[in-house]
Amino acid sequence: MNDLIDTRRFEEIKAAGELPSPKGIALSIARMSQRGDASLAELARLVQGDPALVGRLVRAANGSLASGARPVVALRDALAVLGMAAVRNLALGFSLISSSGEGLCRSFPYARFWTGSVIRAIAMQKILMRLRTAGVEESFSVGLLAGIGALGLASVFPAQYSRVLDEARGDPVALLDLERQAFAMSHVELSAAMLADWGMPRFFVAAVLRHEGALTLPAEDGSREYGLTLALGLARAIETACMADDAGRSEAVDAAKALAARMEWVPEQVSALCEDVAADWKDWSAMLPVDAYALPNLSMSAEPETLAPPQPPAAFPSAANDAPAGDGLRVLVVDDDAATRLTLQTLLVRGGYRVATAEDGVRGMECALEFQPHIMVVDWVMPQMNGLELARTLRQTRMGRSIYIIVLTSHEEDARLVEAFESGVDDYMVKPLRPRVLEARLRAAQRLVRMQRELETEREEIRRYAAELGVSNRRLQEVSMTDALTGFPNRRYAMERIAQEWAIAQRSNRSLSCMLIDVDHFRQINETYGRDVADQVLEQTARAIRACMRTQDVVCRTGGDEFLIICPDTDLQQALACAQRVGAGVAAVPVQAGRLRLKSSISVGVAERLPAMPDADALLTLADQALLAAKKAGRNCVRTAG
């Protein structure tokens, strides 16, 4: 993926802090999928430990079936339909929804982010089903995770990203620019890097990288990557329309229409797609911890209806009310005795804690992963999974290592208490409960939690400094590779880039061409009018060259009045046509230097990579020969060698 993503910057961001990652069973599934010999039977046994995940996978499998196919009802059938890779990515996405419902980034809309991601995932799956294209099994997960880079920036750099979001004020173009300035990587690029790191197929990664600008992409020849980019762009447009207010929805609907037209869809197909997304959303919103938005009518034949305001998130299962103080610590009580749960819940709520309860160890584990408590009070003796087994299981997860766990016991024998502490318990209380003792135990837990928060604050400062250092280093690197006069990459960058493009073209058997350009009579201009005028000639000629180039071409100033243009995926005839356009564009714009008005022209040598060429230097040599031929032919023309 090195040719798509700046992997070096991605590794720097990974090292700066904790990017969103799978937890619990999702982590086990990810590890299992890395083994070459893992079977669906093993996968089924692992997934069965999470009933909620079973239901979500069965729902996803049915969404990928062709119309009229027999519905999937059994887990084994769902796994067979989806395959190991799709199950891994879906489990990853569902795990992230449960574990990343809130965070430290003040301006990041966590709940809204996941609601939109699920809507985009449903739309992506429906679109690929209609296109009958490859990758239907993973379409839901790629739609769900296409924007994960934004959550990544919010997780690693919460304070900085909050300032970036505030400054962008909802403008997507401004947001990308501000992200690159602050982190040397946009959320789109980070999304693609994270998906590549998680093993998502290359064609999906390429679609994620380009889908936010799908409307501005030049038409391509029906490649898979181009089709998937349009599909993901359409899914995002539908998501935006569903989540936007009245003022912004019309623009998103127009974008959806335009993208659908590029895919040769008629408006009726888009209307049917929106109706299907709305129908599926009702089922998915009931299965996932996301806000239950009521989707608007996005029919292409009718005016959009008003979007119903978001409903408050459903209460956490068995949870009590939020604490009177908004920043109260979260406490999870796990006990199979209803009277004990009620007593603890009453005492804790009075103390200003936010409380959730669970009736056994298995449910306690599920609640812990979703509620993410600071403190847990667990009974030792419970059915299915006792308190010590729950503590040992939690300590194996990253989230569980930071929870302060108090176990309730009826005994104080030394051997039993040693067993409890060795299982990962932090403290214990002997039944029957004594409120003053409980209050004292909780004060000790509060001190530890505060220390952890202070440590996390210090870590965040270190991450921020590391991020600023990374950005500074990146900017210094960019300066070292940029020509100050024209703003084009310089010779050093040009030589590295053409070697890279050469390797890609050779490995994938793609076309590669280049152009060498000289400004005609530049030495005479310099000697006659002086350096200041000569610099203005170079600067304005560079602007004219840039205006005539395609988006995929790379323009560099390699020295003096010489420019190099690298043209990936371009054969000789296409490069010649481009060179003629550049020459005409330069000649059409006179150079204005003070009161002087000078005519400018260029000579261009064009060459294409040939199978017999040993390296990129041979391609440059051939282009140089072509440039000499252009000069001998009287300048202001385009030539090839031979």
Q: Which two tokens stand for residue 527?
A: 């000697």
Count of alpha carbons within 13 Å of 92, Cβ hemisphere only? Answer: 28
Query: 321 by DSSP, 3-state: which?
Result: coil
291 is catalytic: no
Distance CA 389, CA 396 (A): 11
What SS3 state is found at 633? coil
Instruction: Classify 524 as helix, strand or coil.
Output: helix
DSSP state string for 14-79: HHHS------HHHHHHHHHHTSTT--HHHHHHHHTT-HHHHHHHHHHHHHTSPTTPPPP-SHHHHH
Give the separation between CA 46 and CA 403, rounded to whole angstroms.
Answer: 25
Are the CB atoms for 607 and 626 separated by under 8 Å? yes
Give me the catalytic one of 50, 483, 518, 561.
561
Residues 6+ apart with CB under 8 A from 128: 135, 136, 139, 228, 231
Q: Which DSSP string corresponds to 377-401?
A: EEESS-SSS-HHHHHHHHHTSTTGG
Contacts 24+ apart (CB under 8 A), 450-454: 452/402
Alpha-carbon distance of 415 to 395, in angstroms, equals 21
Instruction: Give CA 332 to chain center in angstroms.
Output: 32
Residues sharing a CB contact under 8 Å with residue 60, sequence separation 6 or more, in sequence order: 78, 82, 86, 90, 125, 140
CA dihedral 617, 623, 628, 629 (to 10 degrees): 140
Q: Are 372 and 99 in contact (CB under 8 A)?
A: yes
Sole residue written with tokens 């996978």: 57
Residue 349 amino acid letter: V
Amino acid sitting at position 198: W
Strands 602-608 and 512-519, by their bridges, are: antiparallel
Q: Which residues 6+ apart lie within 8 Å of 315 measured at CB?
A: none
Place of tokens 């904790």: 18
**What angle, rounded to 10 degrees, do the helices at 202-210 and 187-197 form?**
170
Could you list the active site residues?
561
